[in-house]
Structure formats: structure tokens, C-alpha cells
Amino acid sequence: MSGGGTGGHIYPAIAIANELKARFPQARFLFVGAQDRMEMQKVPKAGYEIEGLWISGIQRRLTFKNLSFPFKLIYSLSRSRKILKDFQPDVVIGTGGFASAPLLRVASSKGIPCLIQEQNSFAGIANKWLAKKAKTICVAYAGMEKFFPKEKIVFTGNPVRQDIIEVSSKRAAGLKHFQLDENKQTLLVLGGSLGARTINQLIEHSLPFFETCEVQVLWQTGAYYYQTYKKHNQTPGVQVVDFLYTMDLAYAAADVVISRAGALSVSELCLVGKPVIFIPSPNVAEDHQKKNALAIASENGAILIEEKDLDIHFESEFRTLINSVEKRQQLAQNIQKFGKPKATAAIADEVEKLLKN
């Protein structure tokens, strides 16, 4: 299993591994990631072994950081050969991110069957590079033949953690776990595993507004920003965390969610069926987060507010949503139409086909 850099690449890999482990209890799993990124902590916590490569992504703009990329790539290709020789895998699965590129490139050159799982509506650099050699490419959006060979594409949806598929029965447990008031509505704020500066600034600025709305806040700042905002744990009705290890309980406790529109977040929110305000990151390839969110918002399944419009629209949109039970129920019902609860199983089915062949 290889993929990483952000939670959007790591957690799909873990979800696929968990499904395969349930089917093949005696199977051995090895993850390969970037040695200085978050997967080196998250994967062992999920119960899997991981090897790190000295690799980083190539920047889309001109920067001195790109000068070291060729050396890192050469080293990582060599290290991947050693890992594959020692581990002798029957199949290799890549979930995107720069860490997956060297391993899958070497694996495919050795004739080891490779499966790629692309989460986004706009394919990443690594997956586009690997597509020609991969046996199967699992996708979550229509129209991906503009990036990948059509005959290799299988529409599965994105893999998600099984514990979030049914959260409605966990509300009391979620409120208790996060020490939240059951008599208040709860806003869950998600900025991605690393954090989102604009969302964090918005939430800090809006804390007095949330108080007037009688809303308590469960605020995931991301690893990069926790030290800046942890002081607000002293504010009544505010819980600040760097990372959420019990996402099922966080979703269960939430009445409204504010979130980026990365592929994994969108896929999870479609399954849990919560009213959500998407604030897509403008700093991504081909503005794909906006496209992810727009696909749902255009069908009245979510509210979409671009960063440039937050000052104008955020408070009015939020107040309308929090004061209207009917609006919240409508969004919650509509977003669930986009959910793919069997995506992980469908991807595991494709892996089984590769193993049998």
C-alpha cells in the first residue's frame, strides 16, 4: 500500500487495507510513505507496518525546492526496489500523493499488478504518471477518461472508514466524548488533516457570532495551526483539537459542518448526511475542490461559499441554516444521495480480481 502526504491519501489506503484484512486475515500488509510526513504516525496507529522514502512532491511553480527532486526520486526508486525485493508483494495499491510514485513505478516494471485509487475529480500528478502501467484505476467521479485509459477505469467511489457509515445512533456518545452540551446545537469545523488558515481565521473571528447563535464549536485546526488557536479551549462552548481520532463521534455530535471540499471529506460527509457549508481551497490543481463541492451544492445537497465571498455571505448563510430545521433536514437528505457506502468493498473486489489473475 502506498500513498500519503495528507489524510486524503492516507485514510483511503487504510480503509482498503482494513477491508482486505477482513477478507484475508493471514495476509501481510506493508505501507510505503514519505519519511517525514504524517503517514509515518497515522499508519502505525492503524495497526500497520510502514517504510519511509526520502521523497517530496514536485512544486507546480518554480522554486528552489524542485532542485532536490531528481536526487530524491532516484534514491526512492532504488529504495523501492529493495522494499519490493524483500517484501515480495502479490499486488501493490497506490492511493496518490508523491510517495506512491516511485513504488508503483518500480512494481509495475517488475510485472507486479498495480491498482490506483484516484479520489479527486482532477487526477493528481503521481496517478497520471502511473496510469499507463497500472492494471486497474478506481475512480470516484465521472469523466476521468480524460486523465486515464478508459478501459482501465472502474467507477467505485471513494473508500471511507467503516465506523462513519452509521453515526446517527452515536450522538449521545459523541456529545459525551467531546464534553459538549446536549441542549445546544454543535458546529463541527474541519480544515483537513494539516489545517486551513482561512477557515481557522474565520472561526476565530466568528466565535462571538456563534455565541449569539447559541452554537457550540468543535474545531479541528489541523496540525499546523493548533498552537495558534488552542488558547480558545478556555472559551466557553469551544473545543479546539489539532486532529480528530474519533471521526465517527465527531460527525455524530455535529448538527452543522464547515469543511474544505477535498475528496475524502466530501465522500465522508455524503455518507454521514449532515448539513454542510463547503469552503473549498482555492490553492489546488484545476480548482478541483470547488468542482467537488459544486457537484453537490448544485443539487441542493450543500452550501458552497468561496473564500473570496466569506465576508459577504458567511454569517447570513450560517444564521439561516442554524435557524431552519427544514433547511438542515433538506440538505442532509440530499447530500446522502451522493454517498457510496460500498466503495471500499468494490475496490477490494478489484484487488481480488488482480490476485486471481
Q: Extract the annotated binding site for UDP-N-acetyl-alpha-D-glucosamine.
A: 6-8, 120, 161, 193, 263-268, 289
Residues 280 and 200: their CA atoms lie apart, in Å, by 13
R_g of the chain, CA atoms, integer Å? 20
Across the strands, what pairs with 240? Answer: 219
Strands 215-220 and 185-190: parallel
Q: Residue 306: exposed, middle, or buried by beta-carbon count in 10 A (0-12, 13-18, 19+)?
A: middle
Residues 152 and 172: their CA atoms lie apart, in Å, by 44
DSSP string, 37-92: STHHHHHHHTT-EEEEES--PPPSS--GGGGGHHHHHHHHHHHHHHHHHHH--S-E
The three cell numbers locating residue 12? 483511503
Q: Are 136 and 116 in contact (CB under 8 A)?
A: yes
* Residues 76-97: b if buried by 16+ CB within 10 A, e if exposed: bbebbbebbeeeebebbbbbbb
Across the strands, what pairs with 215? Answer: 185
Looking at the chain, list the stretches that DSSP marks H as alpha helix, in order from N- to C-terminal side.
Answer: 7-23, 39-45, 69-87, 100-109, 125-130, 171-177, 197-212, 226-229, 247-253, 263-272, 288-297, 310-322, 325-335, 343-356
Residues in CB range of 187: below 8 A, 6 or more apart: 210, 215, 216, 217, 218, 254, 255, 256, 257, 258
Q: Are 159 and 139 in contact (CB under 8 A)?
A: no
Binding site members: 6-8, 120, 161, 193, 263-268, 289
The 3-state DSSP class for residue 104 equals helix
